[in-house]
Chains A and B, each alone.
Chain A
Amino acid sequence: MARQYSEGPDEGLTKHLCYSPPAMTVERDELGFDAPAPLGHPGRLGLPDGHATGPEIGDALPDFTLPDAAGDLVRLHENRAGARAVVVFFRSAVW
Chain B
Amino acid sequence: MAAGVKLYAISYDDREALAEFREKQDIPYPLLSDVDSATIRRYGILNDRIRPGDALLHGIPYPGVFVCDEDGVVISKFFHDTYKKRDSPERLLDAALGRVVLDGSGPRAEGGDTGVRVSAAVRGGTGSLRQGIIRELVVRFELAAGLHVYGEPVPEGMVPVQVDVQGPPGLVVQAPVLPPTTPHRLGEMDLTLPVWSGTVDVRVPFYAVGELASETRPLDRGSATLSVTVRYQACDDRTCLLPRTEVFTLELPLDVVDVPRLSIHMGHGQREAEYDAFPHARRLLRRKIRQAPFGFLRYLVKQSRLERAARRRARTAGA
Contacts and interface: CB of A to CB of B under 8 A. Distances in A.
Interface string B77-95: 1011111100000001101
A77 B73 CA distance: 11
Given A25-B310, A41-B306, A32 B72 contact: no
Interface residues of B, number: 110
Contacts of B131: 33-34
A33 to B, nearest CB: 4
B262 interface: yes
B216 A4 contact: no
A77 B18 CA distance: 22
Contact of B67 (A21, A48, A84): A84
A92 B11 contact: yes
Contact of B82 (A5, A17, A29, A62): A29
Nearest to B87: A88
Contacts of A94: 13, 17, 21, 56, 260, 262, 277, 280-281, 284
A47 B80 contact: yes
B64 interface: yes
B32 interface: yes
Interface in B1-33: 1, 4-13, 15, 17-19, 21-22, 30-33
A19 B237 CA distance: 75
Chain A interface, >50% SS class: loop
Given A17-B285, A53-B64, A83-B4, 5 more contacts: A1-B274, A31-B81, A43-B55, A85-B8, A87-B65
Interface of A: 1, 3-7, 9-10, 12-13, 16-17, 19, 21-29, 31-36, 38-43, 45-49, 51-64, 66-71, 74, 76-77, 79-80, 82-95
Interface of B: 1, 4-13, 15, 17-19, 21-22, 30-34, 39-40, 42-45, 47, 49-51, 54-57, 60-70, 72-77, 79-84, 92-93, 95-97, 131-132, 170, 172, 209-211, 214-218, 260-269, 271-272, 274, 277-278, 280-282, 284-286, 289, 299-300, 302-304, 306-307, 309-311, 313-314
26 contacts: A6-B263, A10-B266, A12-B278, A16-B282, A17-B282, A27-B313, A31-B84, A33-B84, A33-B131, A33-B210, A36-B265, A38-B306, A42-B57, A46-B82, A47-B81, A55-B43, A63-B72, A64-B39, A69-B19, A74-B8, A85-B7, A85-B8, A89-B61, A90-B11, A90-B63, A93-B11
